[in-house]
Structure 1
Amino acid sequence: MYPYIPNTPQDEQEMLQAIGLDSIEQLFEDISEQVHLTKPLNIPASKSELEVSRYLKSLADKNCSVSQLTCFLGAGAYDHYIPSVIDAIIQRSEFYTSYTPYQPEISQGTLQYIFEYQTLISNLTGMDLANASLYDGGTAITEAALMACAYSRKGEIIVSTGVNPEARQILKTYAHAQNLKVIEVETKDGVTDAAMLKELINDETAAVIVQNPNFFGLLEDLKGLGEIAHKGKKVSMIASVEPISLALLKKPGELDVDIVVGEGQPLGIPLQFGGPYLGFMAVKKDYMRKLPGRIVGETTDLDGKRAYVLTLSAREQHIRREKATSNICSNQGLNALAATVYMVTMGKEGLKEVANQCVQKAHYAFNELTQSGKYKPLFDKPFFMEFALTSDVSVDKINKALLEEKIIGGYDLGKDYPQYKNAALYAVTEKRTKEDINKLRRVLEGVK
């Protein structure tokens, strides 16, 4: 096999002669011999392309993917069906290799699909406008909080402990660096404690952040919590939502939510062992000039034809740094395209069908798993497609037993909520069959 570096000894001699040197060692004469490496590097010998390919495949084969295992794990990333048309489109070279569309005259295709993505997200959430996407759901929550602080010129953020724990960690990291205060409002019976929220809101409150369905899979009262938030002066109500659920639930825009964010992974993006994913953000028009990231707008060109351009760019690359709204807001272009193709392919009725199947299968699983009494519901509240069960057996032991049967078990809530020891969060999507759920019940009943 030929070496990776294509330069032959003859090529090297020709290059050395061109710069007037006799050897490669002469290139480094100005560097002290005391720091020269006098022995071979402590790395394996070089391998051929065939050997490297074989080795990498052996490493990849150690991974267990949802194509081999039945997945009941959610907690922010979900095993939904992805139509084959998505890969067929996003792998086209004009999309797959495209970069930021700074030059509209050569980027109309990219700009158009981003514009369509923004329109679809606005329609899905019921909000006035959306940006071109963000890194992921966690950074979208943080961006929303920072925008609310800039909008109100206040520095306190109230976030429910029903919000994804990882997202809250991201929020605290950025808030600390910007001297903002993050206050957590506890949950009561699995949902945000409205009475506690009332007590926490004060003149310095910039935003209230709630997730719906929340991290436990339960449905929050967005309208009621929003009314409490809006009693404060210029307090923004921020809702982090699950996009598939919006096919059934009331749109946040109808519930007077100011800023809507979420993780777009359920919209046609594979689990991919944790990413890259897609954050979405939609807002009321009052927030338009504070919206982070890119926004694509529609206009007409010199010939009067429809055209698309980047507009209201508030990133630090485009305007003075001190005037920028954010510097962590690069949009996930290829994943935004995947989400666009997914939403267009599924359509309104398709999304509703996916959501309905998730609800029905999750509730079937809940009833089956709690029937014997060995596994008990952690909460008694309405849920979408995730539910928490508790038992006398540790979640770690349960999940090991499930994995032996090629099942990925639920998320151990005790990791983030010590008060919920031995509680697991199960997710049931439209991909799960009656046989999958019955097998889960059978294995769980056998764990001692």
Structure 2
Amino acid sequence: MNGAVFRNDVHAQLAQIARADIVVGIPSYNSALTIGHVVRAVQAGLAKYFPDRKAVIVNSDGGSTDGTTDVVQQSSVEDFESILLHHRVAPIAKLAFPYSGIPGKGSAFRSVFEIARTLDAQACAVVDSDLRSIAPEWMELLLKPVLEGGFDYVSPLYHRHKFDGTITNSIVYPLTRALYGKRVRQPIGGDFGFSGKLAQFYLGRDVWQTDVARFGIDIWMTTTALANDFRVAQSFLGAKIHDAKDPGADLSDMLYQVVSATFDLMENYAGVWMPVRGSEPVPTFGFEYGVGLEHVNVNTARMLHIFREGLVNLREIWLEILGAGDLREVERLGALDDAAFHFPPGLWSRIVYDYALAFHRRKMPAEHLIKSLTPLYVGKTASFVMAAQGMSQAEAEAEIEKLCMEFESNKDYLTTSWKKGGVP
């Protein structure tokens, strides 16, 4: 298949570089205010932890109009002496260019994969361009398991506020874990390490004219690695500080993007996940330590209002997807006072599975289907927020673990219904 298309000047730079041990990609779009810090942290990490390795930093940009690529070219660590015990031997090259293809993070990543292949890189990493918490140590933690441990994929492990990352906590992590049997805690974290071999495998997939190019690249990378028997690990990176959103805000577009990508992958890999039961930890690197986390404000009253509106406006759709029994349970929840509202984890796991089955059977257009999940997701999240209000981070994590166990114990329901359902 055709690779990514690069401008002549990029081809010339690649020819001059010839080969590299490490490629670090930073996809961006109008990130001028934050990307300088990210570039400097990456440079410092490469210089400190891989002084003898030839490395290239790739800024694959989505057509920024705020000077993002200029900031990349101008950003550098002023005083390497302050962070190094010895002089760096190998140079760090920088490439900054607009990517080609469908606009989206996936197309940006494709360019990084292509450059990794062209330069025959052994190890690669990608990090978000708007990170405020990235540290030089992230390079060691994402790349060393690949370079020295023989791993193909390194997922991030962050401490996040208990009310942040609710799509991950209530859907993507429990579902991915139950499907593929590996406890990858942040499957859509955004900052990953991977081998050159896996980058080539990614390039060979026929997905670059699909929604993967637009959105869903994170879960696609994680699932593709898990489902194709690549060696997967995770590394503790501390806190991920970014502009967290109120989970009660309008997340229907994000929910659609993440969930549709996850459900699409279920279609592709049904033969892989069907026989899997239970789950096991993946190797974890890094020293786990407590970190201060920014508070996330949540308006639970508004969220419960959205949930109850869904009961009125979406009842017929929910009946078709969930069936009469589970809909009765949902209606019972809707009749409770806010203070008594509690969304049972077993019910939630069945709802997510029912939506996956409806997607599989193509009961209605995918976007229409998944956006009808939004009020249910918001209600589940409100329930968690109210229950976890006085909990420590560890106690809140224990609640997520209970939810994961419900997904695992109810998996027979999914597989049996999937086999019976088929596609009409």
Pick the TM interval, shorter chain: under 0.3
TM-score, with length taken from structure 1: 0.23
Larger Rg: 1
- Choose between structure 1 and 2 for higher RCO, CA contacts under 8 A separated by at least 6 residues: 1
Q: Which has the higher strand share?
A: 1
